[in-house]
Amino acid sequence: MTDASLKIVMSTQGVAGSQEQVLVCVDSRPTAKSTVSNPEAACAALAKSGDAVFFAPPNPNRACTQQYGGPQQARVTGTLNGKPVDKVFSLTDGCRIAEWQAMQALFGDFGPGV
């Protein structure tokens, strides 16, 4: 079961302003405090890939394709299963794009359809 209390701040490099959303999951289910567009899918994404995306140590031998997915960024802060979270997502290379895709439900339709 996944418990989370996250704030997601999405922005686009070079553009003023940002969007802020909240996701609160208790036992892998969203609460009424959640403001993401599809909270059920966001809680499911955290249950499936949250530990790997937020807490896995970086692999120094991992090769990332040099591709650019767009200027979008998202900063996710809060807690996931009692552990602090503070991670910036972007679309600046293949590895970061894969992380974005794994957590796409947190960002909704913000960003490209990568």
In eight-state DSSP terms, residue 66 is -
In sequence order, which ranges of 6-77 are alpha helices (DSSP H)? 39-55
Q: Quick one: tokens of 19?
A: 């969007």
Statement: residue 14 has pLDDT above 80 = no
Rounded CA-CA distance 42/76 in Å is 13
Please say whether the beta carbons of 23 and 6 come within 8 A. yes
- Helix/strand/coil for 68: coil
In sequence order, which ranges of the chain are alpha helices (DSSP H)? 39-55, 94-102, 104-107
Region 21-31 average pLDDT = 97
Top CATH class, 4-107: alpha beta
pLDDT in tens, 61-97: 988 999 888 889 999 999 999 999 999 999 999 999 9
Rounded CA-CA distance 50/11 in Å is 21
| Domain extent listing, the chain | 4-107
**CA distances (Å), 105 to each of 2, 59, 60, in order?**
15, 25, 28
Give 16's pLDDT tier (boundaries 50, 70, 90).
Answer: low
According to the model, what pLDDT value does residue 44 have? 97
Higher pLDDT, residue 60 or 7: 7
Statement: residue 111 has pLDDT above 90 = no
Give 113's pLDDT tier (boundaries 50, 70, 90).
Answer: very low
Higher pLDDT, residue 17 or 10: 10
Rounded CA-CA distance 59/37 in Å is 32
According to the model, what pLDDT value does residue 26 have? 97
